[in-house]
Chains A and B, each alone.
Chain A
């Protein structure tokens, strides 16, 4: 995916200023403060917002030239703020998402949610609902997956399992989240984003105390864990 010179204004305020992104293989994460336009950027990249300037190309095709069904096979999108209306079973949600007819029960087995398959979605807890919706997006098996705050509301076990699932998956992920520690384990590429611009882009090594303080305006402590991974702790 290639995004060039994306700019977007909302109610006379320029929210996104000349952003360019390349995102090919693996997990790319966008890190930045609240209200900086990260969710908006995600919506633009996934084709939901159309009145931006600049160009977005997937494998050479401009997204504006693609049909609804082409886009649906190319990318999928998750936002934890999206509601489910009415009574629908968990099974229905997966059936509707199962665009490539895969066996989605193995995802449910992995999370221990197999017994929830026939239940109404509303009967699940908030965290379980969140996991189900993320899994339903992954079940679509699109090459590009956009996740907007997937780790919110997840308990440590679900978080760990989701991290493993994303790492094992062959799909390419673009994730926005505030759980920086989790992102530091997951990310192949990091984009530091502030005030509508990509400030820095690179590997996990970008997560230095200085860089994070510049982005968020608050202190972090970096340390190495037993596997040599860079880990973050917020220093209150």
Chain B
């Protein structure tokens, strides 16, 4: 408790420093640790360059995946004024996945094609969400609507998998990520993060409702639209390259908001770093826990996030009026 109070009072971002430390330590561990059980953690295989390269790409992909989903969750929560919104639970991830799979049946495949096909789905889902925002609907019902969308698209995906005889994995991991695709992830990831950084300065304004922000001279309708398009790109990048992830988009922003309190200017970087770290840790644990069986990072991540999510839902949120 004292540590948390110290974190909340400090002027420099101690939380960020911790995150950087964890990232560096576990990033290196993830790359150099031998493909053995945790007992052989430091057995270096420096001669196996291709293996190191593979591990580097999966580490980079894990970092960007965790960071991008968490940032998407943060901005979705701000835009919809709802602490329980997550790209996975609002239909965005599953909808993107469905359209990616559907269009991939009929249209050609090339590097990045899955991202583009997924983007079509993401933009459709985002339009549905924008429409839903104009309706006066309680936050709980909004989340419920999102869950319905999620299950609907997961079901549609299941149907597709019967036709394509493909494997439907509910949880995704980083073991199938090749280095060439990693470059795509890094480039797109960098573009998305840069794009979202431009909107970092508007984060405090979401304390007001949209009309009040307009009153202050900021065209929040356009800003919301731009942010949602960038989030669509983020989710379609992740779904296209890796797969589907759930819960991390709710849990990370909520933890970051709890720790930072009113220090809103730290939200962006802390969310990205904590999300990246969680995904990295999940990949590390998934790879090493039951060697030689590799548990997908998404599964470990969901297992870690679910209890935290229970706690968040039960404690209520700041605007429980």
A binds B: yes
Question: How many A-B residue pairs lie within 8 Å, measured between CB atoms?
Answer: 72
As a 0/1 sequence over residues 126 to 158 of chain B, the CB contacts with chain A under 8 angstroms (1 = contact) are: 000000000000000000000000000000000
**Please, which residues of chain A bring their CB within 8 A of the CB of B212?**
77, 82
Residue of B nearest to A123 (CB): B262
Chain A binding site: helix, strand, loop or mixed by DSSP?
Answer: mixed
B137 to chain A, nearest CB (A): 15
Cβ of A96 under 8 Å from chain B: yes
The 0/1 profile, CB within 8 Å of A marked 1, for residues 178-190 of chain B is: 0000000000000
In the complex with contacts A88-B207, A96-B204, A68-B319 CB distance below 8 A: no
CB–CB B217/A86 < 8 A: no
Question: In angstroms, how far is the closest chain A Cβ from the Cβ of B15?
Answer: 15
Interchain CB contact under 8 A, B262 and A72: no
Interfacial residues of chain B within 164-216, with CB under 8 A of chain A in the complex: 204-209, 211-212, 214-216
A55 vs chain B, min Cβ distance (A)? 21
Size bracket of the B interface? 20 to 34
Is residue B112 within 8 Å, beta carbon to beta carbon, of the partner chain? Answer: no
Residues of A contacting B261 in the complex (Cβ-Cβ under 8 angstroms):
87, 120
Q: Which of B259-284 contact A (CB under 8 A)?
A: 261-262, 264
Given contacts A83-B209, A88-B264, contact A96 B216 (CB under 8 A): yes
Residue of B whose beta carbon sits closest to that of A98: B216
- Report which A residues bind B (CB closer than 8 A): 46, 48, 68-69, 71-73, 76-77, 82-89, 92-93, 95-97, 99, 118, 120-122, 140
Which 9 residue pairs spanning A and B have beta carbons closest together? A72-B217, A88-B207, A89-B262, A69-B217, A85-B81, A68-B219, A87-B262, A120-B262, A92-B204
Residues of B within 8 A of A (CB): 78, 81, 83, 204-209, 211-212, 214-219, 257, 261-262, 264, 318-319, 321
